[in-house]
Amino acid sequence: IRWARSNISCISNQIKSCSVNYGPITTIGNATHDNIKQYFDSAMTNCINEIPLTRKSQTLIFLGATAGLRLAELRTSSYVNSLLNSTRTYLSSLGLLFRSPEHQVRIISGSEEGLSGWISVNILMRQLFENTKPIETYGFSDFGGGSTQLSFIAPHASKQRFTMNLFNATYDVYSHSYLCYGQEQSRLAYLSQLIKRTNATSSINDPCLQSGYIQNITYKELFTTACIHREYAPITNLNQSTTFSFV
């Protein structure tokens, strides 16, 4: 992301987007330096190549993990700490501006995630920076994979209210995150209830699937996830390798 030094509005431009070639960061089973390097290296090389050499040491880098790591932390906090620490070690070797490792690589709160979305939406809808203090702003709803965030102006909210100063104006924004109520976790909760209602492992009728489609999921993939394990009692007479088939 780049912006002009004299840009009073602080509006920035994205000049490059670099994606990793793997799944979520939690797919790194063993958080060794080599595994972290393999996970990030290709994407980071592509991004760093866009930075002028004279600006490299002045370019900040951040990693803000969201619901995926919040959920992982509920089950295995030691693994998540190892993952974050190894990532900090890797990023510190890139020659970028990385002075506050604990701040620049961390799990952000759900409310912080919602606030970031609220700011982005209202900038994209040209409400914040084009008006000194707009009469109306847009509310923001983010239906993610592991959580859902809601954020909107609420000056009289007693809880989850955050005061921000943006473009020389002050905003009181309500922002709340509902962990375990994202799209993927809601789907897993739905599947777990279908299993318990039918008390079967094969040919479980799922009225939401397309005709002729079959979906297979193992006991381990479903009942050992943080949200399902916390909210729904597991079926004790089955082992982790049991496969459920939904039709």
Compute the distance between CA of residue 17 and CA of residue 20 in angstroms, rounded to an integer.
10
Asked if the structure places residue 127 within a domain, the reply is no
Asked if 189 and 240 sit in the same domain, the reply is yes
SS3 assignment, position 174: strand
Asked if the structure places residue 102 within a domain, the reply is yes
Q: Is 73 a known active-site residue?
A: no
Asked if 32 and 102 sit in the same domain, the reply is yes
pTM of the full structure: 0.83
Q: DSSP label at 236? A: T
Asked if 171 and 231 sit in the same domain, the reply is no
Number of domains within the chain? 3
234 pLDDT band, cuts 50/70/90, is: low
Instruction: Return the amino acid letter for 178.
Output: Y
CA 96 vs CA 49, 52, 59, 62, 181: distances in Å: 12, 12, 6, 10, 36
Minimum mean pLDDT range among 25-39, 40-54, 197-211:
197-211
Asked if 163 and 187 sit in the same domain, the reply is no
Asked if 37 and 95 sit in the same domain, the reply is yes
pLDDT for 130 = 67
Asked if the structure places residue 1 within a domain, the reply is no
Compute the distance between CA of residue 187 and CA of residue 185 in angstroms, rounded to an integer.
5
User: Residue positions in the annotated binding site?
Assistant: 145-149
pLDDT in tens, 78-124: 999 999 999 999 999 999 999 999 999 999 999 999 999 999 999 88
Asked if 233 and 190 sit in the same domain, the reply is yes
Residue ranges making up the domain that contains 175: 111-118+137-179
pLDDT in tens, 113-148: 999 999 999 988 988 876 577 888 999 999 999 999
Q: Among all chains, which residue has been given the structure tokens 């620049």?
A: 104
Residues in the chain: 247
Compute the distance between CA of residue 151 and CA of residue 118 in angstroms, rounded to an integer.
6
The two tokens of residue 10 are 């602080």
User: Residue positions in the annotated binding site for ATP?
Assistant: 145-149
Asked if the structure places residue 2 within a domain, the reply is no
Asked if 190 and 162 sit in the same domain, the reply is no
Q: Does residue 47 have a pLDDT over 80?
A: yes
SS3 assignment, position 139: coil
Asked if the structure places residue 124 within a domain, the reply is no
Asked if the structure places residue 93 within a domain, the reply is yes
Asked if the structure places residue 126 within a domain, the reply is no
Q: Which of 113, 136, 221, 231 is catalytic?
A: 113
Asked if 45 and 97 sit in the same domain, the reply is yes
Last residue of one domain, picked from the residues 107, 127, 158: 107
Compare 87 and 200 and report the one with higher pLDDT. 87
Residue ranges in the chain assigned as alpha helix (H):
33-48, 67-75, 77-91, 101-104, 110-124, 183-198, 219-223, 226-231
State residue 177 phi and psi, 5-degree precision: -115, 135
Cα 14 → chain centroid = 19
Asked if the structure places residue 73 within a domain, the reply is yes
Strands 105-107 and 63-65 turn out to be parallel
